[in-house]
């Protein structure tokens, strides 16, 4: 076994160890009629000041993101809108 091979094995062992020890955050999914208010309570609890809102140009053209941005502004949260993403991107073969 060469020195480089052993170094790579040690590196991968370190990555596996770190993955086992570091906490993995699970996403929270808010659904239903009260989803927005529940999410806003979580935003307020975390004392967030600025949020990045990511959307696509079609959603922005229909102005569907505006109620969420308005609710965030009511809570005193600044928003930055990024809409330069491809809607439903395909997977190249």
Residue 93 within a domain: no
Residue 90 within a domain: no
Residue 78 within a domain: yes
Residue 74 within a domain: yes
Residue 87 within a domain: no
What pTM, to 2 d.p., does this model score?
0.65
In this predicted model, what pLDDT tens digit does every residue of 66-80 receive, in sequence order?
999 999 999 999 999
Residue 88 within a domain: no
pLDDT at residue 24 in the model: 80
- pLDDT confidence band for 52 (50 / 70 / 90): very high
Which residues are registered as beta bridge partners of 51? 79
Which residues are registered as beta bridge partners of 78? 50
In this predicted model, what pLDDT tens digit does every residue of 14-41 receive, in sequence order?
999 988 888 888 888 999 999 999 999 9
How many distinct structural domains can be found in the chain?
1
User: Do 56 and 83 meet the contact criterion of CB atoms below 8 Å apart?
Assistant: yes
- What is the CATH number for 43? 3.40.50.1970
* Domain of residue 36, residue span: 3-82
């Amino acid at each position: 076994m060469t020195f480089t091979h052993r170094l790579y094995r040690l590196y991968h062992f370190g990555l596996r160890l770190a993955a086992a020890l570091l906490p993995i955050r699970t996403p929270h999914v808010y659904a239903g009629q009260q989803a927005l208010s529940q999410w806003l309570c979580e935003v307020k609890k975390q004392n967030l000041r600025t949020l990045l809102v990511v959307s696509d140009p079609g959603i922005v053209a229909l102005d569907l993101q505006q109620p969420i941005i308005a609710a965030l502004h009511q809570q005193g949260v600044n928003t930055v809108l990024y809409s330069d993403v491809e809607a439903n991107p395909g997977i190249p073969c």
